Amino acid sequence: MMKFLSLLVPVILCIVVVYEVSRSLAHADHDERQRLIRGKAFTAAFYAVTGLDALIILLYSMGITIMSAEVLAALHLYLGVIVSAVYCAVKDAYFSPSDFKSPYRYPLVLGIIGILNLIGGIIQAKAGGIIENGMLTNRCFGLLIGLSFCFLAVVFLVRAIKIKNEPEEDEQ
């Protein structure tokens, strides 16, 4: 029964994510200002990932290895996504005009995914093996994904509240 449930949860999550992503793509009608900002967000994400690379190379040259190759690859991915998404969210370029009608959808979905991963990550952390030989192992993925998604959910929630409540003429 537990095995069935443990399989069911990711399947349901995948269906929800695919549905949300396809719905977002179908309504991805960002205006010209938003597209411009999204381009800058990709640039910012690229520089952030390059900066992380520089830091890791520096540490490696000093003989310090703090994470496994898998964790490093995942960290690159999450850092790029976070920088890009936060940059867009702060500049009102993440939600397309049609999304502004229901901006709470994004923080809700991200928050649920984040909390579920965080719970899994904490369970794995308690079981041990997150740090081996002074290096983060791939057992920290749950925590990493959970923290990333929860952070994004909080940023999006703040923006959604601001979008809903800000007076029209005095924005920003």
Partner 1 sequence: MKNLKLKAARAAKDMSQQELAELAGVSRQTINAIEKGDYNPTIKLCIAICRALDRTLDEIFWEE
Token pair recorded at residue 153: 């959910």
The verdict on 11 binding partner 1 (CB under 8 A) reads: no
Least distance to partner 1, CB of residue 23, Å: 18
For residues 40 and 87, is the Cβ–Cβ distance under 8 A?
yes
Q: What are phi and psi of 129, to 5 degrees?
A: 90, 5
The verdict on 164 binding partner 1 (CB under 8 A) reads: no
Token pair recorded at residue 57: 């190379």
Least distance to partner 1, CB of residue 91, Å: 9
For residues 87 and 157, is the Cβ–Cβ distance under 8 A?
no
Q: Which of 14, 71, 82 is nearest to 42 (CA)?
A: 82
Least distance to partner 1, CB of residue 33, Å: 4
For residues 79 and 13, is the Cβ–Cβ distance under 8 A?
no
Least distance to partner 1, CB of residue 97, Å: 4
Residues from 14 through 33 that contact partner 1 (CB under 8 A): 29, 31-33
SS3 (DSSP) at 168: coil
The verdict on 96 binding partner 1 (CB under 8 A) reads: yes
Token pair recorded at residue 170: 């005095």
**Among 40, 52, 90, 92, interactor with partner 1 by CB under 8 A:** 92
Residues from 102 through 161 that contact partner 1 (CB under 8 A): none
Least distance to partner 1, CB of residue 111, Å: 23
Nearer to partner 1, 75 or 93 (CB): 93
Q: Which of 109, 156, 106, 104 is nearest to 14 (CA)?
A: 109
What is the size of the binding site for partner 1 (CB under 8 A)? Answer: 14
In the complex, the residues that contact partner 1 under the rule CB under 8 A are 29, 31-34, 92, 95-97, 100, 168-169, 171-172
